Every structure is written in structure tokens, then in C-alpha cells.
Homo-oligomer: A and B are copies of this chain.
Amino acid sequence: MTTHDQSHQRRVAIAGASGYTGVELLRFLVQHPAARVVALTAETHAHQPIGQVFPNLTGFVDLACRPLDAAALAGEAEFVFLALPHKTSMAVAAALIERGVRVLDLSADFRLKDATAYPTWYGFEHTAPALLATAVYGLPELHRDAIASARLVAVPGCYPTSAILGLAPVVAEGLVDPETIVVDSISGVSGAGRRPELPTHYSEVNESLKAYGVARHRHTPEIEQELSRIAGRPVTVTFTPHLAPLTRGILTTITARLTRPERTADLVAVYRDFYRERPFVRVLDEGRLPETKHVLHSNLCDIGLVSDARTGRVVVVSAIDNLAKGASGQAVQCFNLMAGLDERAALWIPGLFP
């Protein structure tokens, strides 16, 4: 309905539009006053209208999916969002950047600065190590300026977003012992993507809880990389992800030993100071804790915390929507910065409750 002045709109494309991060990108971009979606690619649904792939979009996007062709995309789009599987993104990003396109990669392919971490954690050799150095980790609360001028943004994983935002202030201030950090996250099922498999089959997941990837989840090095950077010294975390029966949402509970006694109220003040002028982070009042439902479908991250004098530990809890702030919303936030727009464009909506 909104007939924005098209001359000011950036031309954007999505590669890998048929997954959940794809449909979530479209949800934001079809309403974006300063963006126009010009192309969608998807191998498995090539030549199919996107309204058939995602009937919710019928009437909102009038594009068909097509096979990925980097040269063709580069001819049409100024910005390309890559919602492709890990390992696939590397080459596509390189081809697009070479042609002058600015790239927002939602895969893990450019998140780790250390190329040797890819064989260890992902099981493949990185084929574009030179680009790793130029890629900016797309967490705007930490890297706003670098994102604004980046050619390649590596949009963070969903778990790292919640873990890093939950830990950054106390790590930056040296308030927690970096060898005592335990991160337990609970995620909705949509984080596992749209491909049907037994572990995400409804009757297996519903009414069940489990941990998975214990001691070897791929988001671990990403969390440690950013926290080590903030701390200025190596930070190691034990990260355990869990799956719960809901579609969207990540709740992350962080436990760490305080380096000195701190009252909850003082820690809340530290967080509020750290996130001043970061509109998407809401630090809750003492006595309140986040619930994922309060950020559902939004780009917000809610953080609450408690200082436990009895054990000398702090417990921080953060909540995001894994597909929004944990993926596509964050990508659009990065796009806004790259395009010189208000960070909140198309994203400034409250959590949709209930």
C-alpha cells in the first residue's frame, strides 16, 4: 500500500529466499520505506512465485524465485542478503563483492576472524580467507560504525547475539572472571531451519526438552571471539544450547563469578550505561526478568540480571526473537546502518504480545 518515493529506495536482493530467514527478511523489507526488493533466488523453488513458497506473502511481494547468478544479481541490486547454508555463502559473497555489491551474509562463513577455526568447528577449509579480514561482525550494538562503512557484514548467529549482548557490559568492565562463564540457551525450533528432519518433526519436538551440541556447538567460537575482543584477554565459555517446543525465541541464561561484590542495582546501571543509544536493547528494572514473548517478532533484546550475594555470582538473562534480532531483523538493522538510514527503519515495532 505504501507508495514510497522509489527514487530514494535502495535496490536489494535476497539469495536463499525460501528458508525462514528469507521469509523473515521479506517481512521487514516489504514494509521498508527505503528499500525495494528486486530479486529473490532459491534453487529448490526456482521459477516459483514467492507467494506459493510462502502463502503469507501473497499480495505483498510479486516476485518469482530464480536460480542464483551472482553476475545478474550484481546488475540489479546494490545490497544482497545471503540467506544461504554455511559453506555455500563464501563463494557467492566473494563474487558479489568483486562486482561492487555490498553483502549481508547471514551464514557463519565470515563470522570468525581466524580462518583455522573453520576446519575445527565447521569441518571445512575457508576458501576466501582474505575476505575474513575485511568482514565486519554485524552486531550493531558493538560495531555500529564499522558496519556503516562495511562492504561485507557477517550477521551474527542467534545464540551469540543473545550471549554477547548479555555479557558485553560486565566483560568490558572486568566485573566477571572470564574463566567462570557458563552460558545455557534455550531456543525455539525455527532456528533449525525449514528442511524437514526427524529432530524437528512435530511429534518428536512437541512436549519435549533436550540439550544438543554439548561442548561442540558452532556458535561457541563466535561468542568467545567477541568476548575476548571486548575483554582484551582470552575468554572461554561453556555453552550449552537447548531446544524447547516453541517456534520462535531464544532465552539465554549466563552465570559467572563476580570479581567483586556488586549490587543488582549497580549492575543494572552498568548495563544501561553500556547500552545508552542502543535502542533495541532494553535493560530491565531490578526485580524484572525478560520473557521471550515480550520481544516476539521484534528486533528487541531484553536483558535482566540478578547479583547473587550468597554465591558471589551474577546471573544475566537475555531474550530475543531468533529469526528477528537473531537473524533477519539484525541483518536489516545492519543494512540500515550501511545505507545511512535510521537504525530503526522498518524495525521499530514492539514485541507482539500475546
Mark A residues whose CB is within 8 Å of B: 1-2, 20, 23, 26-27, 30-31, 54-60, 180, 182, 184, 186, 188-190, 194, 196-198, 200-212, 214-215, 236-238, 240, 242, 244-251, 253, 255, 279, 282, 284, 288-298, 302, 306-308, 310-311, 313, 315, 317, 319, 323, 342, 344-345, 348-354
Is B311 within 8 A of A238, CB to CB?
yes
Given contact pairs A55-B291, A310-B215, A182 touches B255 in the complex (Cβ within 8 A): yes
A14 to chain B, nearest CB (A): 15
Cβ contact of A56, chosen from B55, B214, B245, B295, cutoff 8 A = B295
Residues in B with CB closer than 8 Å to A215 are 306-308, 310-311, 315
**A207 contacts which chain B residues (CB < 8 A)?**
188, 207, 246-249, 292-293, 296
Bound-state CA distance A310–B284 (Å) is: 34
Contact between B293 and A58, CB atoms less than 8 A apart: no
Question: Which among B2, B196, B354 is the interface contact of A348 at CB below 8 angstroms?
Answer: B2
Given known pairs A201-B196, A289-B214, A315-B215, the reply for A353 and B308 (CB within 8 Å) is no
CB-CB under 8 A for A354 and B247, given A189-B206, A238-B255, A297-B297: yes
Given A59-B350, A208-B291, 5 more A-B residue pairs with CB atoms under 8 Å apart are A1-B345, A27-B352, A207-B207, A209-B319, A236-B310
Q: How far is the CB of A251 from chain B (nearest CB, A)?
A: 4
Return the contact of A212 from the options B54, B206, B289, B296 (Cβ within 8 A). B289
Q: What number of copies of this chain does the assembly contain?
A: 4
Min distance, Cβ A341 to any Cβ of chain B, angstroms: 11
- B253 A240 Cβ-Cβ under 8 A: yes
Residues of B within 8 A of A186 (CB): 186, 209, 242, 244
In the assembled complex, the CB of A206 is this many whole angstroms from the nearest CB of chain B, namely: 5
Whole-angstrom distance between the alpha carbons of A329 and B17 in the complex?
28
In the complex, which residues of chain B have a beta carbon less than 8 angstroms from the beta carbon of A197? 196
Complex CA gap A312/B253 in Å reads 20
Q: Which residues of B contact A253 (CB under 8 A)?
A: 184, 211, 240, 242
Is the CB–CB distance between A354 and B190 below 8 Å?
yes
Partner of A247, one of B202, B292, B298, B351: B202
State how many angstroms separate the Cβ of A25 from the closest Cβ of chain B.
12
- Bound form: Cα–Cα A302–B58 in Å: 10
* Chain B residues whose CB sits within 8 angstroms of the CB of A54 once the complex forms: 353
- The CA-CA distance from A42 to B181 in the complex, in Å, is 43
| Residues of the B chain whose Cβ atoms lie less than 8 Å from the Cβ of A214 | 289, 306, 308, 315, 317
Assess the A206–B236 pair: CB atoms within 8 A: no
Complex formed: what's the CA distance from A293 to B323 in Å?
16
Known A306-B214, A315-B214: A209·B56 in contact at CB below 8 Å: no
The answer to whether B247 and A244 have CB atoms under 8 Å apart is no
29 chain-A/chain-B pairs, Cβ below 8 angstroms? A26-B350, A55-B288, A56-B293, A56-B294, A56-B295, A57-B353, A59-B282, A180-B180, A182-B184, A184-B184, A184-B255, A186-B209, A189-B202, A194-B198, A196-B198, A206-B246, A206-B354, A207-B296, A208-B293, A209-B249, A209-B250, A209-B291, A211-B289, A211-B317, A215-B306, A237-B311, A240-B255, A245-B245, A248-B354
